[in-house]
Structure 1
Amino acid sequence: MTQPAPPAPPAPRQPSPSRRALGLVREEVARAVVGQEPAVTALLIGLLCRGHVLLEGVPGTAKTLLVRAFAAACALDSKRVQFTPDLMPGDITGSLVYDSRSAEFVFREGPVFTNLLLADEINRTPPKTQAALLEAMQERQVTVEGEPRRLAEPFLVAATQNPVEYEGTYPLPEAQLDRFLMKVQVELPERQAELEVLRRHAEGFDPSDLDAAGLRPVAGAEDIARARAEVRSVQVHPAVLGYAVDVCRATRASPSLRAGVSPRGATALLAAARAWAWLAGRDSVYPDDVKALAFPVLRHRISLRPEAELDGLTPDACVESVLATVAVPR
């Protein structure tokens, strides 16, 4: 028995105040960063879904500047950690220190106690320290000396990594990769965008001074909270729900993959598609929303077989193949 087809997409409605506010974030970030709209959208979706984003790109593609500008536009407290081989878990979560004045041990918060944590070059620190983020990313708390401590809300980890330099790096374990809602490939700019970058620098743009670039907060915590509630009201037709499930299940049957997408990945795909539809001004999810989010949500959740890697196959090629084989509800 065939599933009923989803209804045709309606015209976008008048945007709510929260949607207007978050829509302005892109314009504000563009004052400091040329291009990279997909990465900005991914951060917005991560914020709406209470997820985290992994930004992968070669050095010099404005990944750090992008995150700083996004935090400023959303009025989020932001902290940056440069991950290095000698970084310890307590350097991220915080630790107990002895206070000689009170003759007691007191907790000193680490940089994870913020709204937006920029984990710069996360693959340059050993697994022990990478794992220190697992509890924070999943449970939104850290446990120090047996006592759990809640993190701020909203809380988003934006991690960066370099895809071409592997010496002295520690690939993220699959368990931690699965905690990232999306993995975005930050591409090199096209010629016109690169010309604009150089023009701005020639006119005196200073990446370290966002205030001089005219960047201002256009959204706040209340806008984010209202937006999250509105995203939860976005409807999903049963046919679209089935399509998302079938896409994820198809990865598990692919002969090129050692491991496919888990149910957690399927729920992440649905959540991201709902946020994407909300940002587009719609109150329902459609198959094109699922297809649009499949690459950033699934590419880091699948593992290629060694022989497939030797043949030059990539995760994106596998996702593309799966999307081509799964019937789209009409």
Structure 2
Amino acid sequence: MSALIARLPSSRLWIPLLFDYGLVIVLGMALDAGSGWGTPATLPVAAGLVAVAVAVSVVEIRLRRAYLKQAVPSAESSVPTQRPWGLPAQINPADLGFLANGDRGALLSMIAWLRAAGTLVTDPQHRHVQVAAAAAPRGAGPLGDALRRLAGSPEGLYLPGLNPLSHYARPDVVTREMTALRDRLASRGLLDSTIWQAPSTTPAWHRPWPVAVIAFGLAVAPSLLVADASAASWAMLLAMTAMLTWTGHPATLPTPRRSTPTDGQWVVEQARRQHRIKAGETDPRAIAVLVALHGDDALQQLDPELHEIVRAGLFYKLIPDPLFDNGW
């Protein structure tokens, strides 16, 4: 029952709660309940268990509210007070690509830059491999230098292996530079911290006392019902089922929704207004900026060969491992 409850959204918890109540009522009718409030022996036990169940449920609800309030910052606190107006024209193309489309955007814009500068060319025998043809352009930074070194190795720069989700091991140098890129953007306040927050839910029964109270109450309930099927026994069993339903549901973090974009989103929007796709663009850095901001649309016009490689699924694609491929 608790496994099914955990899958329900919080707004639908009334369904199993009513179901539990219905079972209790049917059980009470079957036992011919209703002979007063209870005997002097059963009434204190039932009242005590109801009081403990209510108290523990209140504590549990308060703790969960405190957890959610701490885990999810308020929308008001995330609204920037002053925009970084000069930043969109100064930020690195790889950083723009990351803000626009994550790891894939950063790597694709950098590879487009290196190709436009003549640093990388496609291996004639393997389209999904880039090889080094010249030094990295000035300003490409550590990520550009790392990609150029990989392309200059005997294996070349294997594009599908850049995806951290692929079963191919992502080069450590790429992982290190992408981590540094994320940290740099986070330190400048351009990343929404809730994006990197994990996990999104807490497990059901994440504290022991609701389980203990429910287990004890459900163990005592049959004895009281058999000995004295009274209103006190009913009330105790109803309290136990309600507690089972509500406290057995995991506390789920709501999806953050903001009425205003974060600084990083704002930078991307401003940069897109400043940099439109221009056919015939030849400046390597400008090409990287356009690819970072406009993705495959810019790539199709400015680097058709790389666009075809991407479109064919030979870049940043999750290649299923034949040992674990389930046919997807």
**TM category, shorter:** under 0.3
Greater helix share, structure number: 2
Structure of greater Rg: 2
Q: Decide which structure has greater strand share.
A: 1
TM-score for the superposition, normalised by structure 2: 0.26
